[in-house]
Amino acid sequence: MPKLTVTLTRSWNRRTKKIGVFDNGQELGVMYNGETSEFDIPTGSHKISVKSGWYGSKELAFTIDENETKSLSVDIFKYGNLIINSLSLVLIVHFIAVTFFSIRYLIWFNAPAFLIMGYFLTLGRNDYLVIKEK
């Protein structure tokens, strides 16, 4: 029987969230941060997607033969960890600058990161997670 191996890359901002793995719209199982899971799937065409609450991924389509193993990895969008970390850092620096040094307008450095995160909260919610073949 064919097998599907899915690896969820470790990330601090997903440490408590469960990720559902779906094949043709039916749930295969759930995974947590840094886990690798193996699922038995039938031969033929498949459309794999993952979902975590509001966020999800685009479908990855492939065909699998008997006794074949397909390996996939799931990660956050490109530069996602960098954007989220820089957003936090600039917010902290802003509040320190305003409180102790009366420096204002530093918060505007966060505008691009807020716009990107706003996109992933609305229109791009199915682009937040990315599935790649190994």
Q: Where in the chain are the domains?
A: 3-77+126-133, 80-120
Write down the H helix ranges in the chain: 80-101, 111-121
The highest-confidence range among 12-16, 31-35, 68-72, 109-113, by mean pLDDT, is: 68-72
What letters, b where the CB count within 10 A reaches 16 and e where it falls short, cover 103-133?
Answer: eeebeeebeebeebbeebeeeebeebbbbee
3-77+126-133 CATH, one of 3.40.50.300, 1.10.40.30, 2.60.40.1120, 3.40.50.920: 2.60.40.1120
In this prediction the pTM is: 0.75
With both helix axes pointing from N to C terminus, report the angle between 80-101 and 111-121 in degrees, rounded to the nearest 10.
140
Q: What is the pLDDT of residues 50-86, one digit of tens each?
A: 998 888 999 999 999 998 999 999 988 777 777 777 7
